[in-house]
């Protein structure tokens, strides 16, 4: 069996520093290569273009002028990574906007390691769209 953890690059986009650090630590403990952490949409677009991650774990709420959903649309114009969205808010409008990006997974906050591992592995095993 191929070890998907070593081969895949992950970008984390989260506006809260401590939460971002926690997700980065958990992701690394699971054996994945975290290529960067961004807190704004602009940083995320730059890092995505620079590192071409296989997967982006994206918060809906970000610092700066654009949210995670708009950031994902901008990244999709440059590269075609898989996306996992995370949010503490799951209202219908937000979910419709997330679904327009065609994410490979969704996880509600607060995160736990088992759910995080499951959604990452599931997203990485799916064909990219």
Looking at residue 18, its pLDDT comes to 94
The pLDDT value recorded for residue 83 is 96
Average pLDDT over residues 35-58: 97
How many Cα atoms are found within 13 Å in the side-chain-facing hemisphere of 50? 11
95 burial (CB, 10 Å; 0-12 / 13-18 / 19+) is middle
| Bridge partners for 84 per DSSP | 57, 105
**Shortest CA distance to 9 belongs to which of 59, 61, 73, 79?**
79
The structural domains of the chain, with segments of one domain joined by +, span 7-124
Rounded to whole angstroms, the Cα distance separating 30 from 42 reads 27
Rounded-to-integer distance, Cα 101 and Cα 21, Å: 25
Choosing among 3.50.30.60, 3.40.50.970, 1.10.287.70, 3.40.50.2300, the CATH entry for 7-124 is: 3.40.50.2300
Whether the per-residue pLDDT at 5 is higher than 80: the answer is: no
User: pLDDT confidence of 1, banded at 50, 70, 90?
Assistant: very low
Give 74-129 pLDDT, tens digit per residue: 999 999 999 999 987 778 888 888 888 899 988 988 888 888 999 999 999 876 55
Tokens matching residue 10: 């992950």
| CA atoms within 13 A of residue 5's CA, in its CB half-sphere | 10
User: What's the mean pLDDT in 53-70?
Assistant: 95
Residue carrying structure tokens 């065609």: 102
What pLDDT does residue 128 have?
57
Whether the model clears a pTM of 0.95, i.e. scores above it, the answer is no
């Amino acid at each position: 069996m191929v070890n998907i953890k070593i081969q895949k690059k992950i970008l984390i986009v989260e506006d809260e520093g401590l939460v971002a650090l926690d997700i980065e630590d958990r992701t690394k403990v699971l054996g994945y290569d975290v290529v960067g952490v961004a807190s704004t949409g602009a940083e995320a677009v730059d890092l995505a273009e620079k590192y071409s991650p296989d997967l982006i774990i994206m918060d809906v709420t970000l610092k700066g002028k654009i949210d995670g959903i708009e950031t994902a649309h901008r990244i999709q114009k440059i590269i075609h990574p898989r996306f996992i969205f995370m949010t503490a808010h799951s209202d219908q409008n937000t979910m419709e906007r997330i679904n327009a990006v065609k994410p490979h997974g969704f996880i509600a906050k607060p995160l736990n390691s088992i759910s995080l591992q499951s959604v990452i592995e599931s997203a990485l095993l799916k064909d990219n769209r």
